[in-house]
Amino acid sequence: MCGIVGYTGTLQAAPILLDGLRRLEYRGYDSAGVAVHDGERIERVKAGGTVAGLAEKTANGAALHGVCGIAHTRWATHGAPTDTNAHPHLSEHGLFAVVHNGIIENYALLRAELQGEGYVFRSETDTEVVAHLLEKYYDGDFKRTVMRTAARLEGSYVLGVLCSEAPGRLFCVKEAGPLLLGLGVGENYFASDVTALVSHTKNVIYMDDGELAELTPEKITVFDRTGREITKTVSHVVWDIEAAEKGGYEHFMLKEIMEQPRAVKSTVDPRIRDGEIVFEDFDPSSEELAGINRLVITACGSAYHAGVVAKYVIEALCRVSVEVQLASELRYSDPIIDGHTLLIVVSQSGETADTIAAMRECMARGARSLAIVNVVGSTIARLADHVIYTHAGPEIAVATTKGYTTQLAALYLFAVWYAKRLGRIDSARYNELVEGIRALPGMVQRAIDLNVHVRYLAERWHGHKSLFFIGRNIDYAAAMEGSLKLKEISYIHSEAYAAGELKHGTIALIDEQRLVVALCCQEQLFEKMVSNIQEVKARGAKVLGVSLEGDRRIFAEADDVLFVPRGERLFAALPELIPLQLFAYYIARENGCAIDKPRNLAKSVTVE
Ligand code: G6P
């Protein structure tokens, strides 16, 4: 979950690499570094802290001369985030510089072997073994050296390598982590993510595991594990650089919250034609569907929460039982999966290591897979039998907003489509549900407009040290995401609880210091929620109600209220999250937190 970028061409490399790092910084931001070939040797600068610190140290790159280089922004796994542990790492005599994303699982053995041969280690990282192995195996042939080195590594490694004896040439290697190549004119690039490339080129090649590539200014050559040259497809990226910039907003997170009406529309609109749900990229045969008797959803973090919402919706509409499992648990659970299981894999990035591993485990047991993914060409998208892209556009803030709501929209489309294919809903209900989905972008905008007062509520409530989010049914699933949003960006303790379960122990924590956010958008359970609100109020808690627009009953119960526009009950979680995202955002802002890059987190978790 680090970010790497490489450039070879005719322009000064360091400023281009720093710009790339700024765009990759959401992948890790505890230290950064850059290495450039100055025509004779490799120059390297590293800095603990953010890319801004590295930019300052190098006069925005001007202090480093050379037209070919590699750079890295780190999320520490082995060794603290210090200058010394930052990448790039150099080999003993400075012959090679290497950047790495992933974890080398056999690094301890390799380190001992190399130390036994006299190699001196300067950092605590797993990556340094790669630098020394490169020098150990170097026989004048750059490609062969990289291949021999990669063959010794176990685990996940995406590498970028610079050799002082090969000016203008770069190698990169992919094994279990994201990597793509950017094709320019007289210049070429590699990067962990397309956001680092789009200001330079829209022509990209997605690398697959086990491949390596050689880059010179004129040419990119890709090889398989055995060193045989292979032909890769060039893809064209459809969005441009504005999509990955703040566009006047104070934070990416706020920009991405505000983008949601458009993002949800991009998920929904292309899939509804003449009142029918049609997936261009998901069209299983009737035989394939007939063979499915079980649905399992797997994901991590917010994507998992989207899966929990989907369970309620799919079960209500399709009357098929749905299991939702955290990918990190599913992968080690010896899961009961066979060829009759449809595995739905939800992921914004398409690169989350645990999700990929769970998916591989289930597919090896025969499951058919449907991926709901945002990033085109990502590992999960390519592994899956079927894909529904969410088309949310690039999401830069670490805390997901539009990534999550577009996952919900895609899952709603699937649920309604599947219910119809199973014959579980009649055409009147189908039409009503399709209209309910079509209305979602407008409802998201309405949810933004209805809650302009949320920033003032944040002023009032930002000092609370502990919150509970409570709800029932779909409101409970929405509470999980609302609670996560708050804790990850504001560092305030918060927990989501099924409202009816509170009294079985956790209510002991309720006192005058507690703020309880009570989600009351499932009309059929409103009275039950009122009872739960009264239980916490009787113990001194303050209550922030989240209620359907126009429902005046909540005013008698809550200290403050957030509003959710009315629409199809089953789809309420999507508009409901908008005020909760805004609430988390403004609380974190009041508390002066690093909203786009919260401490200890990274957007794309490509390690186990
Ligand atoms: C990280 C992010 C979360 C995200 C989770 C799963 O923890 O900080 O926001 O929900 O990974 O990511 P994915 O890309 O698979 O949706």
Instruction: For 191-213, write each residue's pLDDT tens digit.
Output: 998 989 999 999 999 999 999 99
Q: Which CATH number does the domain housing residue 140 bear?
A: 3.60.20.10
pLDDT of residue 1: 66
* Distance (Å) from CA 209 to ligand 1 centroid: 21
The reply to whether 349 and 397 lie within a common domain is yes
174 annotated active-site: no
**What integer pLDDT is reported at residue 510 of this predicted model?**
86
Decide: residue 240, CB within 10 A, 0-12 exposed, 13-18 middle, 19+ buried. Answer: exposed
For 200, the 3-state DSSP assignment is: coil
Q: Is the residue at 600 inside a domain?
A: no
Range of the domain at 357: 248-438
Residues paired with residue 159 on neighbouring β-strands, in sequence order: 100, 173
- Residue 308 sits in the same domain as residue 379: yes
- CA–centroid distance, residue 185 to ligand 1 (Å): 35
**Would you say residue 308 lies in a domain?**
yes
Total number of domains in the chain: 3
Given 195, 213, 243, the domain boundary residue is: 243
Q: With 70 as the cut, is the pLDDT of residue 515 above it?
A: yes
Q: Is residue 131 part of a domain?
A: yes
Tell me the Cα Rg of the chain: 25
Q: How remote is the CA of residue 90 from the centroid of ligand 1, in Å?
A: 32
- From atom 15 of ligand 1, which residue's Cα is the shortest distance away? 347
Contact 327, 299 (CB under 8 A): yes
Least confident of 15-29, 72-86, 104-118, 550-564: 72-86
What whole-number distance in Å separates Cα of residue 471 and Cα of residue 280? Answer: 36
More confident residue, 286 or 93: 93
Pick from 345, 604, 607 the residue to mutate for probing ligand 1's pocket: most ligand atoms within 8 Å of its CB: 604
Of 415, 438, 461, the last residue of a domain is 438
Per-residue pLDDT band for 586 (boundaries 50, 70, 90) equals very high
Residues near ligand 1 with C-beta < 6 Å? 300-303, 347-349, 352, 355, 398-400, 601, 603-605
What's the pTM? 0.83
Instruction: Give mean pLDDT, residues 285-313.
Output: 94
| Final residue of a structural domain among 194, 214, 243 | 243
**pLDDT of residue 608 exceeding 90:** no
β-sheet bridge partners, residue 156 = 103
How many angstroms is it from 301 CA to the middle of ligand 1? 5
* pLDDT, mean over the chain: 93
Ligand 1 atom nearest to CA at 400? 9
Do 210 and 280 share a domain, yes or no? no
Per annotation, catalytic residue among 46, 402, 487, 603 = 603
- Beta partners for residue 345, in sequence order: 298, 371
- Nearest atom, ligand 1, residue 375 CA: 14
Atom of ligand 1 nearest to the CA of 601: 8
Whether the Cβ atoms of residue 574 and residue 403 lie closer than 8 Å to each other: no
Atom of ligand 1 nearest to the CA of 398: 8
- Is 576 found in the same domain as 526? yes
Is 2 annotated as catalytic? Answer: yes
List the CATH number of the domain containing 280. 3.40.50.10490
CA-based nearest residue to 241, from 391, 19, 15: 19
